[in-house]
Amino acid sequence: MAELAFSEAEYRGRQSEFLGQIPSDSLVLIPTNPHANRSNDVHYPFRASSYMLYLCGWNEPGAVLMSHYDSGAWTTSLFVQPRDTKTEIWEGRRVGTEGAASGWPIDEARSLEDLEKTVAEHFEACKQIHLIPGLNPRLDEMVNSAVNSKSRDSNTKDIGPTSLSDPSSILDEMRVRKSDREIQLMQESADIASAAHVATMRAAYADIGEWQVQAVIEGHFTASKSRWSYPTIVGGGDNATILHYNANNAVIAGGELVLVDAGSEVEGYASDITRTWPVNGRFSDAQREIYELVLRAQMAGIEACQAGSPWSAMHHATSNVLAQGLIDLGILDYSLEDALGEDFDGPYRNYFMHGTGHLLGLDVHDVGGGRQGDDGPGRELGPGMVLTVEPGLYFGSWRTDVEIPERYSGIGVRIEDDVLITEGGPVVLTSDCPKTIDEIEALVGSDR
Ligand SMILES: [Mn+2]
């Protein structure tokens, strides 16, 4: 096989676990992402769909993975861009059908030029189509018209597909628990991101630009043959109180905190780290009070990441610490019970507006859900799951919806680590990234 992220046996095992849950009178179609257009004739860097990476590791645009059942077994075909020297001179070398057939964990490789004809032939032999929609408009259209058409053949001879479904929930469930090799790749991604955060702390100084912090982070990703797994957030001062801030174009004054939320990816697997620190290397008393509270909440959240606990356990653990801390600092004038409110939706949420974490994997907000729902405590945590623990407190001076205490106005703090659930307790994959006040004060600006 080509230099793929996983062994052929691991890819084949995933395919058979997946197809084992699909009725044999089905045709299965898994397209990858298109090569997205940026403007005019320029494209964004290509990133394959996570399902395609998961099932066979194919990393070129436009491909379609097709499985059909025949003579007692599933056959999996991959439709790929064929070799084409004139196009390759401009766009880069292609693996092509022969390369795909010999190097990838599939039964046969075909040219995308034959996709429509081949798929149409297979329609006749199947009753159900399982397609991940929204990725390949031409395929969506073909499949919809095949399922909806009332042809003479389908009316009189009962030929052709009659139902269409999206198989992604089966794959999502499989992706929730990571294999040993997946965990290894996620550890590599966590190590790169940890080192990148350390590098930015070392390189910081008063009046540094948010974009310069971003450059150090992303420069480290690139130098490590990695790239970001989501757009880097660098928010100085008040900008840290905007959860998905990414303008990254303001100067961070000495005395202000900067919140850096950035992660890399390795073979498609994401890391996701947030650190918050003073650009001049010294926490003020007010900053220290909020930071220590968020850190205590985060440690309590990590401790709650135990196999067998409900998903909601870590959110409840962080919420308890934050609400009590807000009372102790005089920010909330309530009993703990009232500050937490019914269903953990009380006034402490004025300053902590998001969830405590999410699953992490091939997607940064990974599939498989898990969050606390209206009707229960959410997914049970189990070995092999990787999730983030990321409480925060935000006191945007610009807020008009709630009262912002003067002492803490303009402070936003979030601390985020990536945690692997094991039978022996939580393992912090991002533990190489310092987060205590002493460690941070020693690091920030130490390159200068
Ligand atoms: Mn996150």
The domain spanning residue 120 has which CATH number? 3.40.350.10
In terms of domains, do 152 and 239 share one? no
Tell me, yes or no, if 403 is annotated catalytic.
Answer: no
Has residue 157 got a pLDDT over 80? no
Q: Which of 354, 371, 399, 407 is catalytic?
A: 354
The residues that bridge with 25 in the sheet, in sequence order, are none
Task: Write down the pLDDT at residue 375.
Answer: 62
Task: Write down the pLDDT at residue 136.
Answer: 96
In terms of domains, do 326 and 392 share one? yes
The crossing angle, in degrees rounded to 10, of helices 312-328 and 285-303 is: 150
Considering the domain boundaries, does residue 84 fall inside one? yes
Q: How confident is residue 369, by pLDDT bands cut at 50, 70 and 90?
A: confident
For 55, 62, 144, the CA distances from 137, given in Å and listed in that order, are 21, 11, 10
Tell me, yes or no, if 70 is annotated catalytic.
Answer: no
CA of 418 to the centre of ligand 1 (A): 9
Among the residue ranges 8-17, 141-150, 261-270, the one predicted with the least confidence is: 141-150
C-alpha closest to that of 4 among 81, 59, 46, 51: 59
| pLDDT one-digit tens code per residue, 280-332 | 999 999 999 999 999 999 999 999 999 999 999 999 999 999 999 999 999 99
In terms of domains, do 256 and 166 share one? no
Tokens of 158: 């009962």
Residue recorded with tokens 């009178």: 25
**CB-proximal residues (5 Å) to ion ligand 1:** 272, 388
In terms of domains, do 98 and 204 share one? no
In terms of domains, do 101 and 185 share one? no
Domain containing 105: what range?
A: 8-174
Considering the domain boundaries, does residue 424 fall inside one? yes
Residue recorded with tokens 């469930």: 173
Q: Which residues contact 180 (CB under 8 A, 6 or more apart)?
A: none
Please give the single-letter amino acid code of residue 285.
D
CA of 341 to the centre of ligand 1 (A): 25
Among the residue ranges 124-128, 395-399, 423-427, 433-437, the one predicted with the least confidence is: 124-128
**Count of CB atoms situated within 10 Å of the CB of 276:** 27
| pLDDT one-digit tens code per residue, 110-150 | 999 999 999 999 998 899 999 999 999 999 999 999 998 87
CA of 417 to the centre of ligand 1 (A): 8
- What does the alpha-carbon distance between residue 164 and residue 186 come to, in Å, rounded to a whole number? 34
In terms of domains, do 33 and 170 share one? yes
In terms of domains, do 135 and 160 share one? yes
C-alpha closest to that of 365 among 101, 90, 125, 172: 172
CA of 28 to the centre of ligand 1 (A): 32
Q: Which of 68, 414, 417, 418 is catalytic?
A: 414
What b/e string do you get for 118-133 counting C-beta neighbours within 10 Å, with b at 16 or more? bbeebbeebebbbbbb
Has residue 169 got a pLDDT over 90? yes
| pLDDT one-digit tens code per residue, 277-293 | 999 999 999 999 999 99
Tell me, yes or no, if 416 is annotated catalytic.
Answer: yes
- Which of 135, 158, 174 lies at the terminal end of a domain, its last residue? 174
260 CA to centre of own chain: 17
- Cβ contact 198:443 at 8 Å: yes
- What does the alpha-carbon distance between residue 66 and residue 29 come to, in Å, rounded to a whole number? 5
Tell me, yes or no, if 394 is annotated catalytic.
Answer: yes
Question: In the chain, how many domains are there?
Answer: 2
Helix boundaries (H) for 239-372: 285-303, 312-328, 336-340
**Count of CB atoms situated within 10 Å of the CB of 437:** 17
Tell me, yes or no, if 358 is annotated catalytic.
Answer: yes
| pLDDT one-digit tens code per residue, 176-191 | 999 999 999 999 999 9
In terms of domains, do 80 and 99 share one? yes
| pLDDT one-digit tens code per residue, 374-396 | 567 889 999 999 999 999 999 99
- Region 221-225: what's the mean pLDDT? 98
Q: What is the dihedral of CA 336, 342, 348, 353, to 10 degrees?
A: 150
Tell me, yes or no, if 354 is annotated catalytic.
Answer: yes
Task: Write down the pLDDT at residue 253.
Answer: 97
DSSP 105: S
Task: Write down the pLDDT at residue 346.
Answer: 96
pLDDT higher at 146 or 17: 17
The domain spanning residue 281 has which CATH number? 3.90.230.10
Has residue 372 got a pLDDT over 70? no
For 41, 62, 87, the CA distances from 83, given in Å and listed in that order, are 21, 14, 9
- What does the alpha-carbon distance between residue 184 and residue 228 come to, in Å, rounded to a whole number? 18
CA of 253 to the centre of ligand 1 (A): 26
C-alpha closest to that of 179 among 377, 6, 34: 6
Considering the domain boundaries, does residue 1 fall inside one? no
In terms of domains, do 105 and 198 share one? no
Q: Which of 41, 285, 343, 438 is catalytic?
A: 41
Element (H, E) at 280: none
CA of 388 to the centre of ligand 1 (A): 6
Q: How confident is residue 151, by pLDDT bands cut at 50, 70 and 90?
A: confident
In terms of domains, do 184 and 170 share one? no
- What does the alpha-carbon distance between residue 319 and residue 174 come to, in Å, rounded to a whole number? 30
| pLDDT one-digit tens code per residue, 72-87 | 999 999 999 999 999 9
Tokens of 175: 């992706």
